[in-house]
Chain A
Amino acid sequence: MVFNVTHITTYKYNAPVNYCHNIATLRPRNSDGQELLDYKIQINPKPAEITERVDFFGNYITRFSIQTQHDTLKVTTKSKIVRDYGAKYDSFFSDACKRVTMNDALYVLKGNDPAVIEAKQFILESIFIRKIDKSIKEYAERSFRGDRSVFDAAYELMQRIYTDFDFVSGFTSISTPIEEVMKEKKGVCQDFAQIAIACIRSVGLPARYVSGYIETLPPPGKEKLVGADASHAWFSIFIPGFGWVDFDPTNNQIPKNQHIVVGWGRDYYDVPPLKGVVYGSGKSKLKVSVDIARID
């Protein structure tokens, strides 16, 4: 499937900004079952300089600065992506994936196989998922048990988050601690992803945060998916001996072709779509719009 994704972020300032430095994680990375065919970024006003690099996790980071006075910043990206995730999706349900129990997983994680070493850092604390309290561990242990399949446990965790938590936008912000989300059982996609990640890490398994988009046009006769017209986020768990498997707790499904990956990291902190330091006075108003069009 081929998509055209248009992502527009607009900041309006109530007082002029003299200059700003920004970092964007907007260029979708190539990953299993996904290829970037074309990508353009447009920034208004025109940046004085712009560079792109690949970060620690393999994501594309765009850095730019604007040195002319402005009161609106508009960043538009247009990505053309081919997503063919069917085979990958099917592999999750294979025996090779499902047979790995938590005991197996923890045993393999003690080793120093390159893939395992790479994955193990996602067990450690991260900027936003720092203190993992008892309630999170208990919540996780209801699904994760030594003799149980990791895949099944993760699948169930996703289902439980979907059932137990309410999607309420505006209740949380990016600085809401996960303990509070856990307590209130309310939040948005990034909260649910981070809750799942905290749960998985609490039992000693690697989990990472995936940032991306979701196509919202509902196939005929089916319900419209939540997360419309905005960036989306979900989580991925490492099953030793098999690999990473993505889960979307907001929509209670394993991502297939409607999910488009932009980047991943330990949590939201590693892959914010756009951030920056602004020199000037006053406040800003943010508007984000995402449009995903299917070409074929």
Chain B
Amino acid sequence: MPTTTKTSWLNSYTTKFGNDELFNSNNDVKGYWKKLFTSFDKLGESGLKGRQKDIDWLLLENGVTYNVYNDPKGMHRPWNLNVVPLVMHRSEWENVEEGLKQRAELLNLVLKDAYGERRLIKDGVIPHEVIYGHRGFLRQCSGIEYTTDKLLSIYSADLARGNDGRLWVVNDRTEAPSGMGYALENRSTTSRILPEMYTRMNVKRLSNFFKEFHQMLIDASPSKKDNPNIVILTPGSHNETYFEHAYMASFLGYPLVQGNDLVVRDGFLWMKSLQGLKRIDVVLRRVDDAFSDPLELREDSHLGVAGLLDVVRRKNISVINPVGSGVIENPGLIPFMPAIAKYFLNEDLILPQIASWWCGQEKEKSYVLQNLSNLVVKRIDRTNRESIYFGKFLTPNELESLKQQIIERPYRFVAQEQINFSTAPNLTQDALEPRNVVTRAFVIANGDHYGVMPGGLVRVAPDSKTVRVSNQRGGTSKDFWVVEDHPIKEDKNKNWEQKSSIAISGLDDLPSLTAENLYWAGRYVGRTLVNARFIRTVMRQMAMVQNRDEKPEAVKLQVLLKAVTHLTGTYPGFAEKPKEGPQAMENPYDEMLSVIRDQDRVGSLAHTIGMFSNSYYSIRNLWSSDMWRVFEDIQKLWQAFQADENPSILKILKVLNQLITRLIAFMGLIEESIMVQQGLLLYFIGLQLEQSMLTITKCRSLLAVKQETQVEYDILEYLLTSHESLNIYRYSYRSYIQLEHVVDLVILDVEYARSLTFLINRLQKDISRLPHSRKDQQLTSYQKYVFSAYSKLRLAESSKLCSLKSKDDVVREELDKLLGELSELLYKTSQSITGTYFNHTDRQTQMFTQSFPF
């Protein structure tokens, strides 16, 4: 029955469904919604839309994203949050909480039983196929004893309101439930953007829940200590919810690690840090069950740690949730839940579930086969969207094929009634519109009982026709407000005692993968900047050539172009003869375009920017929101440039200018946003090493060969320009540009911040602060290389470097030799640092290569 609301804001809010969060069973607007909309009325239409814009802006600013696999729009989509929260009164929520706690406990008992005595099967409460036929039942985990009171530490349920007005359980999530971090981020956003409503509505806070969450992880430590080492294990920056992993890591203060950061030795789990191995007590796991141990589970996984399960068996680590908990993410259990509740607790289920038919039973199977077009069919062990079939949307052929699948392996399928769930008001472009909503609730173990988050993550269908709700399909989200009639007296102190020691103890404990990413972030930032500047210099010269296809007759341009190839490493390029095809020199403009824009070409500017972005995303938990914004600017600039099919040379120069300016802003922000203990040192080492190496390459390819006087003069000027040193040169020497002075300034100057000697001296100081560096007698090998490079530079004299052996010679041998040696030493330095600190380069291989169709 169509219903229309009464407040002025809501005059336009019409719902066809008759089951909307706004209304009670008498079609009156519920009191607390009225209260919210009275506040919205004060804002007016433009005011509320303005708040929505503020939210969008804030989320973008904070870089809140999620990833969609195989998304044509690319990775890292912005997260959407609707300004209208979902509101529920505490009196209703308390009953739901009881139901969630009961369900968490029941699933916990099922999990314990499945990997323990299996009484449920033996006593005929559940058919064996529901467990044994579920691919998530990992026999390797059978019989493991755990140190925690509850096996299921984190439980999450999707809830939706049925036509009877009750909240129903739609899905159970137990393997590695996601969404908690997004719920927190949503709350922090809405409470900032809607402060007056947030206060007036008496919304229950989330802070206590996260405090308990933190305590739960501490208590999970197998050896009881106050400061257990806790890490968050993420599959990496390509994962759908990577933002959340990074967000939780920085919110809770735990290191964010990947499988490669961890290693099993002597029956314990260790984190590879810069200092060495650090013992880990608790892993908050976001890697799926089957991927968590390539020794015992999926052999092809590179996301887990070989031997992890054995450490669990020895009770030397707690993995939260335990590996194997995916078996209770199992719609096959639904029809048996009432019996399970009776069996374990002698209780009735508090929360209703959707009517479900498990096809492993004859009667149920034939009902399902006869009514397939009205049902929703799910695999018991595949709860992802792709494995859910909505009967009414299937073609006759698809229905037939589904029937065959069910007949072949009936125990694998469950059919459910298709139910219309409630809608809630959502602000769209034009108006408030009803949209289907599903709420993800979170439950955590707290000693021998469970605690529930007073809130959750609400996901909203993308349009008014869609019932399916999913972020992957482009829906939006809402904050979830559990409200009280009276102001809440809660401890507003969000910061609690920091008990996980590992996060704050500095550089020594930096996970080596994070360290490596920082090091490479430094190297790629440096490479992008140096190359962009040099390419800009070259393009300016090319802009002066009238005809693009004209062969560069001028020797000076040829020298510059060859230097581009050496600097970017895009051989054969201008420097070598290609094995086949035309020479790049024949068509320099095209080659330059490729060096700038071809992202598949290793060494190109586009490729380098891509590598920089990857290393940046991989450690995003370290970056500040200002950095995020500048980074986004760089990405946008570059994407727009790449989209331009035929940019003019002036356009290219403009983009390069903007790129360089933004990079410099970014570099400035890095220095002030990250602490040295967080790994900034590694970034600096990478940056200086890269800048030094490129300076060497640049000088070598421009200066080692003598040219005619005028050509040489021009080249020296280009070198100074691309090195941003022309003004300094004029200021320092107040003279005609001379080779010796240029060598003095760019290579040998001890005080000039852009000179090679200065860079290497700083590198020397920085590497001495690395954990394994020595300050006493014997230097480590990387220290020796840098020391040697520095000495060579200090002992060099520009007059000798610039001299020629004889008049007829064209190569400045002294200079060439020195630069060659320096290049070699810095290469060895890089190798040695990598070998000493990023010691996860050992490739993980299986003794046998097997392909497992898990």
Contact = CB atoms under 8 A, between A and B. Distances in A.
B581 interface: no
A50 B121 CA distance: 34
A91 to B, nearest CB: 27
Interface in B301-325: 306-307, 310, 313-314
Nearest to B308: A21
A265 to B, nearest CB: 8
- Looking at chain B, what size class is its interface with the partner chain? 35 or more
A124 B849 contact: no
A127 B854 contact: yes
Contacts of A284: 847
A67 interface: yes
B848 A67 contact: no
Q: Is the interface of B mostly helix, strand, loop or mixed?
A: loop
A277 B128 contact: no
B847 A275 contact: yes
B420 to A, nearest CB: 36
A23 B295 contact: yes
B842 A18 contact: yes
Contact of B132 (A114, A124, A269): A124
B5 to A, nearest CB: 54
Interface string A255-296: 000000000000001101011111111001010000000000
Nearest to A280: B842
A94 interface: no
Interface stretch (A34-42, A51-59, A149-157, A161-169): A51-59
A56 B850 contact: no
Contacts of B734: none
A49 B128 contact: no
A225 interface: no
A23 B848 CA distance: 12
A276 B264 contact: no
Most chain B beta-carbon neighbours within 10 Å: one of A272, A275, A277:
A277
B842 A279 contact: yes
B851 interface: yes
Given A18-B842, A21-B264, A274 B139 contact: no
Interface residues of A, number: 41
Contact of A278 (B124, B264, B846): B846
Nearest to A73: B847
Interface in A103-160: 112, 114, 117, 120-121, 124-125, 127, 130
A269 B138 CA distance: 13
Contacts of A51: 267, 310, 314
A56 B266 contact: no
Contact of A127 (B133, B142, B852): B852
Contacts of A275: 295, 299, 846-848
B129 A276 contact: no
Contacts of A54: 143
Contact of B307 (A21, A57, A272, A278): A21
A281 B143 CA distance: 35
A89 interface: no
A21 B296 CA distance: 10
Given A124-B129, A127-B852, A274-B847, A21 B842 contact: no
Contacts of B307: 21, 63, 65, 277
Contact of B409 (A19, A112, A125, A276): A125
A114 B842 contact: no
Interface in B110-134: 121-122, 124, 128-129, 132-133
A48 interface: yes
Contact of A277 (B306, B411, B850): B306
A117 B842 CA distance: 45
Nearest to A56: B139
A96 interface: no
A286 B842 CA distance: 21
Chain B CB count within 10 A is highest, among A48, A51, A54, A117, for A117
B850 A174 contact: yes
Contacts of A117: 121-122, 128
Contacts of B850: 174-175
A121 B139 CA distance: 12
Nearest to B264: A21
B791 interface: no
Given A65-B265, A65-B307, A120 B128 contact: yes
B747 to A, nearest CB: 38
A11 interface: yes
Contacts of B128: 117, 120-121
A3 B310 CA distance: 33
Given A49-B267, A127-B854, A270 B139 contact: yes
Contacts of A23: 295-296
Contacts of B140: 55-56
B142 A277 contact: no
Contacts of A276: 295, 846-847
B465 interface: no
Contacts of B121: 117
B848 A277 contact: no
B846 A65 contact: no
B25 interface: no
A278 B849 CA distance: 12
Contacts of A18: 842
B128 to A, nearest CB: 6
B844 A174 contact: no
Nearest to B139: A56
Contacts of B299: 275, 277
Nearest to A269: B852
Nearest to A277: B306
Given A65-B265, A274-B847, A114 B122 contact: yes
A174 B844 CA distance: 20
Contact of A56 (B143, B314, B409, B846): B143
A65 B307 CA distance: 9
Nearest to B846: A277
A121 B265 contact: no
Given A65-B265, A124-B132, A278 B139 contact: no
A48 B264 CA distance: 12
Contacts of B124: 112
B492 interface: no
Contact of B849 (A19, A56, A65, A175): A175
A168 to B, nearest CB: 20
Contacts of A124: 129, 132-133, 411
Nearest to A174: B850
Nearest to A177: B853
Interface in B808-854: 842-854
A23 B309 CA distance: 12
A166 to B, nearest CB: 24
Contacts of B845: 277-280
Contacts of A281: 842-843
B767 to A, nearest CB: 25
Contacts of B139: 55-57, 270
A280 B121 CA distance: 44
Interface of A: 11, 18-19, 21-23, 48-49, 51, 53-57, 63, 65, 67, 112, 114, 117, 120-121, 124-125, 127, 130, 174-175, 269-270, 272, 274-281, 284, 286
Given A56-B142, A67-B265, 17 more contacts: A11-B847, A21-B306, A21-B307, A49-B266, A51-B314, A53-B313, A65-B265, A117-B121, A125-B409, A127-B852, A275-B299, A275-B848, A276-B847, A277-B846, A279-B842, A280-B845, A281-B843
14 contacts: A18-B842, A21-B307, A48-B266, A49-B267, A53-B313, A63-B310, A117-B122, A120-B132, A124-B132, A124-B133, A127-B854, A174-B848, A279-B845, A281-B843
Interface of B: 121-122, 124, 128-129, 132-133, 139-140, 142-143, 264-267, 294-296, 299, 306-307, 310, 313-314, 409, 411, 842-854
